[in-house]
Structure 1
Amino acid sequence: MLGSQLEVSFLEKFDTEVVQYLRNELQNDHIVIRTEIAEIKDEKKLYTSTDIFDYMVKQNPDLKDLKDRLGLDFDY
């Protein structure tokens, strides 16, 4: 599922190449890519690296520990 028409347009640029690659690698001539746009409601857009990192930490709290151990800083 894709989030916007822009994503569909991007995928369409590579659609033929991807399908051909998958058909060759999987030896299956019946592979087809279908696109569907899913409407996302009330979801906050993640623009900054801090926003993205905070979202990822909610998914996996161990990332904060890893960031601290490696001394990484996303706020530059």
Structure 2
Amino acid sequence: MKEAWTTFAETRKKQQADYFLLAQPYERTDTRIVMPLSNPIQETMLNEFRLELNTFLRERLQNSSIQVVGELRVVEERKMIYTPRDKFEYLSSKNPMFRELKDRLGLDPDF
């Protein structure tokens, strides 16, 4: 499977976006190959060559039930911590005792 996938990816090397998409890890069950996608543009790109990919894999692996499917997944974005206030809020969300300690000692995290 890996060899056939890599061979197809090499045929798409001139289209760098397609090649990059095919270089991403995929999940395989019995006859279903799931490609995790991070945005709708990747889904459109996959749809452009999915039929060709399905045909290639079916012929190469001699399995007519193989199906490549794209699955849109939400990527969690993390907020960057820059200021002392942001750092304090982050740490106090992890450990509420920081907030109590700040109140008891009368500290100001912005200073």
TM-score interval, smaller chain: 0.5 to 0.7
Aligned length, in residue pairs: 44
Q: SS of the residue aligned with 1:33?
A: strand
Larger radius of gyration: 2
Output the CA distance in 2 between the equivalents of 1:15 and 1:29.
15
TM-score of the superposed pair, with normalisation by structure 1: 0.54
Output the CA distance in 2 between the equivalents of 1:23 and 1:43.
40
**Closer/same/farther in 2, CA of residues 13 and 3 from structure 1, 3 Å limit:** same
Does the alignment pair 1:25 with 2:25? no
Q: Provide the aligned C-alpha RMSD in A.
A: 1.5
Listed as ranges, the gaps of 5+ residues in structure 2 are: 1-35, 80-111
Q: Give the 5 Å matches for 1:1-76.
A: 1-42=36-77
Listed as ranges, the gaps of 5+ residues in structure 1 are: 45-76
Q: Which has the higher strand share?
A: 2
TM-score of the superposed pair, with normalisation by structure 2: 0.38
Which one has more relative contact order, counting CA pairs under 8 Å at least 6 apart?
A: 1
